[in-house]
Structures are given as structure tokens and as C-alpha cells.
Amino acid sequence: MLASQRKKVILELLAQHKQVLSRELSQKFMISEDSIRRDLRELAAEGLLQRVHGGALPASAATAPIETRKNVQNRSKQKVAEKAVKLIQPGQVVMIDGGTTAHELVARIPQDIAFTVVTHSPGIAVSLVDHPQVEVIVIGGRLFKHSVVTVGSAMIDAISHINADLFFMGVTGIHARAGFTTGDYEEACVKRALSQCAAETVVMASAEKMSAASAFAIGPLSLASTIIIDGEPDAALREACAKQQIALL
């Protein structure tokens, strides 16, 4: 079998099973694991999969700059936001991540609900200017322009003094094996730190992030108490959430 044909089969298997293992592929194609690893490296370089130890996972399509992502899966993000906003209760302290799904969430916050928002997203903060009942705390730091959020040690130190009720977290990938991932190392650290400052973490994910992975781990699925997704999760993800008592909405 030609390398191009083999790669096509690998991608088909990945789409079907949501992961592939180098050892199993080596046995299937009767070639060395070194050859399989070369195939996976080349596919990863094209952005067609995410390599992990021992194999590969589907690559997330949600790692583009924020302006590009504004036009991806808009209806899916809106449906997730409609469900998420119902979790906010009066008087709560709510941390809201950056990202396009978070902007859809903020757009649906009722004018008459009084609560406090903590955010490291300047865009989210500005979107809440016309909500008279919402107190807004903006966490400063170095601006990560790709996602238009602040990151860095100053930002992490500031949030360490906050005990929030909810954290609405955005991710680029949710996978039963890889957990929650994103496309930038420092952003992954920030999301993990924010989650540790909240009583409950709610992960919001539009359809393209399901059963996909990016390069940097935020943490395992157990980081979240609730995952709001548009679409039907695969059996592995549903089973993993049930085992860890994570609510799937």
C-alpha cells in the first residue's frame, strides 16, 4: 500500500474510533512503528490529527485566531450559550473565560439579574457595560492577542484571591482520553488556575470541539462539574462523564 493510501485509511480509522494507536496501526499495515510514526508526523504537520503518546487523536478545528473563530459553528455556540446562561443565579460570583462561545453567553445575560463577573477578557468586560446590575472585575496581565485575554503571573496571582461560584471555561478540545485541551501552553495554565478558584467549572463546547484534542492539556475531564455541548457525545466520552459524575447538558 502506498503511503498516501495508508494515510487515508489512518484518517478514516481516526474519524471512526476517535483515536488510533501506533502499535495497532503497525500490525494492521504490517510495517514498522517508525513508519507509522512518520505517517502521523506528516499528518500532524498538515493539521489533520493531534499526536499523543502512543498514537494520535482528532485535531481540534477551534485553534484559529478569534476573528476567524467568530464565523465557525455560530448556531452551535448560540445553543450552548442559551443553556449555559440559565446556570447563573443572582448574587453569584461568576468567572467568564474569553472566546467566542463566552461572548455568546454574555449576549444572553438578562438585564435584571444582579451578580458579579470576574473576567480576564477585555472584550467580555466591555460587553457588560450596559448591564447595570452586573458588577465587573477585570483581571489584568499580559494580553494574549490570539484569544484577546490576559495571561501571566500577575493575572494568576490576582485570581488566587477570588473564590467564585462558577467558572465558564472555553476549550478547543474535549476527549475522553486527553481531557480538556487548548492550543497555547500559557493559556492552558491560566484556564487551569481559574478552574481551581471556582466551586464549579462549566465547560462550554460547540460541535467542532467534540472528541478532538489540541497540543496543551488544561486538565482531565474531572476538572469540570458540568459540560455543555451541542450534539451527541461519542460512547467513550459519555461513559467517562458518567463514571466521574460529570453532568452532560
DSSP notation for 104-127 = HHHHT--TT--EEEEES-HHHHHH
**pLDDT 10s digits, 196-245:** 999 999 999 888 788 888 999 999 999 999 999 988 888 889 999 999 99
Phi-psi region of 201 (alpha: psi -120 to 50; beta: other; left: phi over 0): beta
Q: For residues 234 and 94, which has the higher predicted lDDT (pLDDT)?
A: 94
Cβ 231 vs Cβ 206: under 8 Å: no
Q: Which pLDDT tens digit goes with each residue over 130-147?
A: 999 999 999 999 999 888
Instruction: Please give the Cα distance from 56 to 175 (Å, whole number).
Output: 12
- For the segment 114-126, what is each residue's pLDDT rounded down to a tens digit? 999 999 999 999 9
What is the rounded average pLDDT for all residues in the chain? 90
Residue 219, all three cell numbers:
486538565
Task: Provide the pLDDT for residue 129.
Answer: 95
Per-residue pLDDT of 155-175, as tens digits, reads 999 999 999 999 999 999 999
CB-CB neighbours of 146 under 10 Å: 14
Q: How far is CA 20 from CA 32, 59, 190, in A?
A: 15, 12, 30
pTM assigned to the model: 0.83
pLDDT at residue 121, as a whole number: 95
Q: What is the pLDDT of residue 201?
A: 98
Mean per-residue pLDDT, 175-182: 93
